[in-house]
């Protein structure tokens, strides 16, 4: 148990886990910018729209499997804390199987998926044709992409976040290089962008498996009786199901925010969309410490060390809260410049400044919800996460009904902040039960 003893759980260890995640997240928007910039060199609007629509469609259907990353992290961290190497390897195999199977389902039903997507989001015939050519290539990367979620979850659960950074740098770096070669040198256009991503996804899966190579030592990873153990499989599916419901609920909160914002006109809608990017930046930063909480809390739960659990929750939350303050201050001071960078229309810039205060407050107001999410994922208290997300959504609806008629778009933003507070407060209410779990003897 010395590996996760309280004396070893230091600020340095938290930063060692969190730092690579923050750097890894920074590579994500760069790739989207390169994809757009490369097709933009073709001098036509349709390819840019096609790549954008195609990426959004795939991002949405892949997002459904986001639970695989979170659920794998918590379970692996707990198995590691319990020094159950056999279960650690079995969890990777189960998660990989789920990811590969989910991706194959998308490949098989791609026709139905694309038909439904374009019915919901119609585009011009030219854009739709190019987007379909993009999707027909990229969909073959679905098994690799979703299986990589499992690998990333496993690496975080074993505190190997430098490997997560290496994996992201490989996938995104190779994608950028192939983008430039296929589109600018070979002139492949939109199919070139899709092919570059497809190759990066499958080679990324191979690299990810190599990074997880310790899980394949010996025969434990081929212990099929353990891998397909009914009780363990049911637990994994229940955890993943809870996370999916929780994630969909939170996603709907932001969807409602955008839809109601549209009622205040195109300018306000555009300003809200710009300011939501500030929340995206906040999530990228705080994710590092939330992921650290997942790994450290999970290990403490697995080892049944309540004092270590509390210290893990405290240290990661202190860092998360400490980061939220300068981020919020940076948004307040640098927000006008960021708004001008993302929007050129004078009226949108003016509206963005009017509502900037909410984006600046969001890191400080939302940090408790973000950090407690990480703590509860590590403890695999996903039923609490699901139920508190649903309860917070109900509070959000009440806040909308009261605040929006009275204060318009300011009320819309205030209601979103209320939902953050509600999520944080309700999870904090459930936290004592989480700690008590560390005193419960581990079931075999």
Phi, psi of 159 (to 5 degrees): 65, 30
- The span from the CA of 242 to the CA of 118, in Å, is 29
Q: 300 is written with which tokens?
A: 């403490």
- Structural contact between residues 58 and 135, judged by C-beta atoms closer than 8 angstroms: yes
How many CB atoms neighbour CB 165 within 10 A? 20
- The span from the CA of 73 to the CA of 236, in Å, is 11
- The span from the CA of 241 to the CA of 230, in Å, is 16
Can you give 107-139 as a three-state secondary structure string? Answer: HHCHHHHHHHHHHHCCCCHHHHHHHHHHHHHHH
Output 333 or 342, whichever has higher pLDDT: 333
Three-class secondary structure of residue 84 per DSSP: coil
Counting beta carbons within 10 angstroms of the beta carbon of residue 310, is it exposed (0 to 12), middle (13 to 18) or buried (19 or more)? middle
Q: 133 is written with which tokens?
A: 């050519």
pLDDT for the residue numbered 5: 44
For residue 126, name the pLDDT band (cuts at 50, 70, 90).
Answer: confident
pLDDT for the residue numbered 103: 96
How many CB atoms neighbour CB 83 within 10 A? 14
pLDDT for the residue numbered 224: 87
Report the range of poorest mean pLDDT among 4-18, 56-70, 193-207, 231-245: 4-18
Q: Is the model's pLDDT at 46 over the cut of 80?
A: no
- The span from the CA of 379 to the CA of 431, in Å, is 10
Helix intervals (H) in 304-444: 306-342, 346-354, 356-378, 382-437
Predicted TM-score (pTM) above 0.95: no
Counting beta carbons within 10 angstroms of the beta carbon of residue 8, is it exposed (0 to 12), middle (13 to 18) or buried (19 or more)? exposed
Helices (H) and strands (E) in the chain, counts: 16, 0
For residue 161, name the pLDDT band (cuts at 50, 70, 90).
Answer: very high
Non-local (6+) Cβ contacts of 3 within 8 A are none
- The span from the CA of 6 to the CA of 303, in Å, is 12
pLDDT for the residue numbered 324: 94
Report the range of poorest mean pLDDT among 40-54, 256-270, 312-326, 341-355: 40-54
How does pLDDT run across 132-151, given as a tens digit for each residue? Answer: 999 999 999 999 999 999 99
Q: Tell me which H or E stretch contains 174.
A: helix 161-179
Q: Is the model's pLDDT at 14 over the cut of 90?
A: yes
What is the pLDDT of the chain when averaged over all its residues? 89
pLDDT for the residue numbered 346: 86
Question: Torsion angle of alpha carbons 52, 58, 59, 62, nearest 10°?
Answer: -170
- The span from the CA of 444 to the CA of 441, in Å, is 9
How does pLDDT run across 347-361, given as a tens digit for each residue? Answer: 988 999 999 999 999
Distances from the Cα of 205 to the Cαs of 32, 167, 170, 191, 197, in angstroms? 20, 9, 10, 21, 12
How many CB atoms neighbour CB 185 within 10 A? 9
pLDDT for the residue numbered 6: 40
State the residue for tokens 């650290």.
292
- The span from the CA of 186 to the CA of 205, in Å, is 26
- The span from the CA of 82 to the CA of 86, in Å, is 11
- Structural contact between residues 420 and 369, judged by C-beta atoms closer than 8 angstroms: yes
Report the range of poorest mean pLDDT among 52-56, 247-251, 271-275, 333-337: 52-56
DSSP annotation of 304: T
Q: 117 is written with which tokens?
A: 């997507």
Exposure string for 339-358, b = 16+ CB within 10 A, e = fewer:
beebbeeeebbebbeebbeb
């Amino acid at each position: 148990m010395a590996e996760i003893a309280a004396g070893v759980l230091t600020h340095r260890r938290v930063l060692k886990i969190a730092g690579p995640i923050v750097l890894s997240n920074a590579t994500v928007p760069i790739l989207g910018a390169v994809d757009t910039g490369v097709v933009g060199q073709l001098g036509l609007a349709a390819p840019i729209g096609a790549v954008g629509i195609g990426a959004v469609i795939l991002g949405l259907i892949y997002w459904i499997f986001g639970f695989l990353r979170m659920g794998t992290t918590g379970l692996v961290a707990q198995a590691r804390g319990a020094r159950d190497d056999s279960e650690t390897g079995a969890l990777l195999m189960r998660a990989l199987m789920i990811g590969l199977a989910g991706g194959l389902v998308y490949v098989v039903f791609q026709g139905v998926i694309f038909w439904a997507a374009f019915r919901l989001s119609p585009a011009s015939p030219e854009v739709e044709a190019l987007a379909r050519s993009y999707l027909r290539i990229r969909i073959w990367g679905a098994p690799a992409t979703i299986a990589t979620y499992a690998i990333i979850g496993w690496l975080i659960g074993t505190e190997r976040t430098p490997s997560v950074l290496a994996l992201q740098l490989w996938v995104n770096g190779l994608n950028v290089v192939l983008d430039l070669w296929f589109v600018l040198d070979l002139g492949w256009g939109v199919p070139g962008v899709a092919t570059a991503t497809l190759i990066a996804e499958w080679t990324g899966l191979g690299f990810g498996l190599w990074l997880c190579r310790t899980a394949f030592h010996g025969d434990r990873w081929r212990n099929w009786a353990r891998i397909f153990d009914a009780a363990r499989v049911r637990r994994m599916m229940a955890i993943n199901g809870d996370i999916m419901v929780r994630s969909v609920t939170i996603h709907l909160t932001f969807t409602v925010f955008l839809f109601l914002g549209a009622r205040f006109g195109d300018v306000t809608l555009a300003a809200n969309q710009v300011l939501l990017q500030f929340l995206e930046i906040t999530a990228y930063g705080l994710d590092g410490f939330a992921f650290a909480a997942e790994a450290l809390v999970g290990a403490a739960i697995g080892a049944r060390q309540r004092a270590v659990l509390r210290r893990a929750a405290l240290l990661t939350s202190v860092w998360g809260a400490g980061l939220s303050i300068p981020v919020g201050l940076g948004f307040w001071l640098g927000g006008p410049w960021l708004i001008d960078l993302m929007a050129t229309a004078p009226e949108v810039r003016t509206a963005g400044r009017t509502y900037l205060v909410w984006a600046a407050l969001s890191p400080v107001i939302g940090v408790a919800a973000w950090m407690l999410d990480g703590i509860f994922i590590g403890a695999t208290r996903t039923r609490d996460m699901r139920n508190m997300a649903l309860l917070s959504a109900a509070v959000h609806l009440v806040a909308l009904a009261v605040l929006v008629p009275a204060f318009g778009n300011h009320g819309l933003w205030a209601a979103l902040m209320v939902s953050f507070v509600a999520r944080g407060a309700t999870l904090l209410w459930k936290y004592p039960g989480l700690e008590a779990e560390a005193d419960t003897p581990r079931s075999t």
